[in-house]
Amino acid sequence: MAETSPRTTSKRARKAPKKMSDAADEDDLDAVEEVELQEAIAASQAEAPPPEAPKPKPEIEEGKFYKRELPEQCVAFASREGRAFFESALKSGGLEGFFDLIAQFHTQNEPAYCGLATLTMALNSLKVDPGRPWKGVWRWYDESLLDCCKDLREVQLDGISLEEFVCLAVCNGLSCDTRRAHVAGEDVEMAPTTTSVKTCANVSDGCHASITSGSLDDLRAAVKHACGRSDVVLAASYSRKTLGQTGDGHFSPVGGYDASTDQVLLLDVARFKYPPHWVPLPVLYEAMQRKDPKTLQVRGWCLLSATSSTEGESGDLRAASAILNTITGGKASKHTDLPKPGRKPSAKKGDAPKKPAARKPATTRKRKAAPDVTQCGLGAASVI
């Protein structure tokens, strides 16, 4: 065997301790890094603010409410059963007016504004032009525009009756077929109304249409008629108590009818309280039979449709009519062919159509200066 030289052996011996030293250095480095990491974590935790304690829920003020649960006899529109009613009504043609109404679904702005909100939905879904601006340059119905028959401050306190609802509807260009629920042994009469001539310009023209009695079958026929077309809206006046709901007198439009189950869809305008819901039609009729404690009359329903004058008039003509009547204190409609806002121009019985007068030469005619509407605080934007 060849002998290993002492020189080679000494080299190998010197190399071995070096490898052991490198391993020890790596272990020391890992230990240092671990210590530094733990120190960094401790420092970050010391700098971070302590977690906030969970805030206590605000105390609910006594006597304040967030919505109400529907009673058993009312089926929520969005529930499984409510959707089944909707599908059935859609197939049978009982939702023809639903889509125009749902596009104008409006939540009443005041707790007692259910009548105004229902009428607002009807007017906008029937595409009636108010003839005066709502906001900016836009003409659009809002509850604030329905102030001709009763002061809105009074409406905020006690709402409106069926008679006042009819008055407002007619004043704003709607035709009303109004019925009260029939109660055996009682005659249907118009209840006395607090509407004053000063606040309602149309009282003398008979804005309080006659109200007749209607049976359960009459209500069913009216519901089928309104829900089978898009140019008629049925507004229901009923008592919530009969439906098992809180409160009493209420207005809401009827949005649909399922003939197979005899269910009516009420688009409740108090959406902060109850969602839209289905109720049996006989139960709704029973809710109409409960008397209004203020008028001592039973409630009922109105079939609303746009009159021929509101369908045929252009918005600009009705806007001009409203402005001129404001400027002249209501005399413009008496001395011109301009109709009253939302009303047909009335002709006296026996009046023969007038023949056009012979036109005089232009040189002999004197032109009268047009009235400056801007002097009355009504600028051009009011006509748009």
Catalytic residues: 114, 250, 268
Report helix, strand or coil for 167: helix
- d(C-alpha 233, C-alpha 118), whole Å: 10
Report helix, strand or coil for 361: coil
What is the torsional sign of CA 159, 161, 164, 170? positive
- d(C-alpha 279, C-alpha 265), whole Å: 7
Say if CB 36 and CB 206 are below 8 A apart. Answer: no
- Count of Cβ atoms closer than 10 Å to residue 167 Cβ: 24
Report helix, strand or coil for 31: helix
The two three-digit tokens of residue 317, written as one number: 């003509």
Q: How many CA atoms lie within 13 A of 332 on its CB side?
A: 18
Q: Which residues contact 299 (CB under 8 A, 6 or more apart)?
A: 162, 180, 181, 237, 238, 239, 249, 287, 288, 289, 290, 291, 292
What is the torsional sign of CA 46, 47, 51, 53? positive
Q: Which residues contact 104 (CB under 8 A, 6 or more apart)?
A: 120, 121, 124, 125
- Provide the residue type at 65 as one letter: F
Give the CA angle between residues 105, 236, 179 to the nearest 5°: 145
Report helix, strand or coil for 194: coil
* Cα radius of gyration rounded to whole Å, the chain: 38
104, 102, 73: which is closest to 278 by C-alpha? 73
Report helix, strand or coil for 195: coil
106, 97, 65: which is closest to 270 by C-alpha? 106
Say if CB 117 and CB 107 are below 8 A apart. Answer: yes
- d(C-alpha 179, C-alpha 189), whole Å: 11
